[in-house]
Amino acid sequence: MRFILTDEIIELEPLRRIVATKHVRHDEDYFIDHFPGYPVVPGVLLVEMIAQAAGRCLIAGIDSSLWPIFLQIRQANFRRSVLPDSRLRIEVNVETCNRSTSSARGKVLLEGEVAADASILLGFIARDLLLPDFEDPVLKAYLTKKSAL
């Protein structure tokens, strides 16, 4: 299973806010077991979508020697089931950011209604712990598209 849970960045204000999208395909691996006959996106993956969007918002504005990591779910609510072939909008606001941690609040919208919302905490690791040539493909695509305009 690939673990990229956002497809595209729509809006980005580094260190402030981000809007991203995710098209939930019917053949996502997790649908096999969650739940057989009634496939539903696991709530923890909805929160991970928020965390990944928040991370991209941070990467776009922090010191390039740092990389955000998901530390804590402070609060989460699941309000609607997300089924295969859903198109989601992920909206995240960064609330605080310093050199060691960042807090963010986000929501996943399905057809304009909140499917999940969460308050999360992210921390930072040294960027050089990652593979040297690694780049976030979703953020790279957004920045490439933006610079071409």
- Residues catalogued as catalytic: 34
Helices in 27-102 by DSSP H: which ranges?
43-59
Task: Name the DSSP class of 50.
Answer: H
- Amino acid identity of 18? I
Give the separation between CA 123 and CA 121, rounded to whole angstroms: 7
Structure token pair of residue 137 = 């493909």
Using alpha carbons, select from 66, 114, 81, 85 the residue that is nearest to residue 26.
Answer: 85
Does an H or E element contain 144, and which?
helix 137-148
Using the structure block, give the residue that is written with the tokens 């981000």. 18
What are the phi and psi torsion angles at 97 (to 5°)?
A: -155, 125
